[in-house]
Amino acid sequence: NRQSNTIQTATFSMGCFWGPDSRFGQLPGVIRTRVGYAGGTTPDPIYKSMGDHTETLEIDFDPEVIHYSDILTLFWDSHDAAKDRNYKGRQYLSLLFYHDTEQQKVANQVREDWEKNHSKKIQTEILPYTHFYRAEDRHQKYFLKRYPKALEAVSALFPTYTDYIDSTIAARLNGFVREYGLLADIKKELDFWGLNENEKYILKDLLHTIRW
Ligand code: MHO
């Protein structure tokens, strides 16, 4: 296991949370992802009544493999944070929740650089992290769930379905089905996921049936 002891968390909102779950889940260094609601005051939000919350992605990552600044650059590259995103109340706002003063500093720096490079002003609200409410299971790894064969084969490798949905493998596969990430990169990573030879074989076989 090559994970360092300093796992960090990044929390941000950029529109419907299904897409970012796939896009960020495929990044080497991202350990797990979850989608949910954040930024509002409504208690116990759910999809049908999220109140003043915003659809949000939360990821755990290894800063020895990927920097917070890389995550933020991809964040601003992958959605339009320069326009007014208020068309559905607060549901699809661009928000960035920093977990400590270091993240806050990096966020302001990356924002400044991005604005300079693109000659656009970013509207993202940069806020201190307070609370993240995990969304209903049907929203977790949403696109992967459209591949029942993958679900069945891979979830069998985990003690519970929840362990599977929260795993690095599920995060990668959920990106892979959306055509993010390279087969070669995932194959390289397979050796670090604690699988036995048979399990690796099953997974490699499965990857080829999804995309190659
Ligand atoms: N346009 C998408 C949004 C879903 S996302 C979880 C839909 O309504 O299907 O907000």
pLDDT of residue 212: 56
User: Average pLDDT of 6-17?
Assistant: 97
Give the three-class secondary structure for 82.
Answer: coil
Of the candidates 23, 20, 33, 31, the residue with the CA atom closest to the CA atom of residue 65: 31
Q: Is 16 a catalytic residue?
A: yes
Kindly report the CATH number that applies to the domain delimited by 8-137.
3.30.1060.10
pLDDT confidence band for 1 (50 / 70 / 90): very low
Range(s) within the chain of domains with CATH label 3.30.1060.10: 8-137
User: Average pLDDT of 29-55?
Assistant: 97
Q: Counting Cβ atoms within 10 Å, is residue 83 exposed (0-12), middle (13-18) or buried (19+)?
A: exposed
Q: Is the pLDDT of residue 28 over 70?
A: yes
- Taking CA atoms, 100 is separated from 11, 85, 103, in Å, by 12, 26, 5
Q: Is residue 142 in contact with ligand 1, taking CB distance under 6 Å? A: no
| 139 Cα: distance to centroid of ligand 1 (angstroms) | 10
Q: Is the pLDDT of residue 98 over 50?
A: yes
Of the candidates 183, 138, 142, 182, the residue with the CA atom closest to the CA atom of residue 21: 142
CA distance 84 to 123: 7
Q: Is the pLDDT of residue 103 over 90?
A: yes
Q: Is residue 82 in contact with ligand 1, taking CB distance under 6 Å? A: no
CA distance 40 to 45: 9
Q: Is residue 16 in contact with ligand 1, taking CB distance under 6 Å? A: yes
Name, of 33-42, 143-152, 166-175, the range with top average pLDDT: 33-42
ipTM of this predicted structure: 0.90
pLDDT of residue 148: 86
Q: For the segment 119-145, what is each residue's pLDDT rounded down to a tens digit?
A: 999 999 999 999 999 999 999 999 999
pLDDT of residue 50: 97
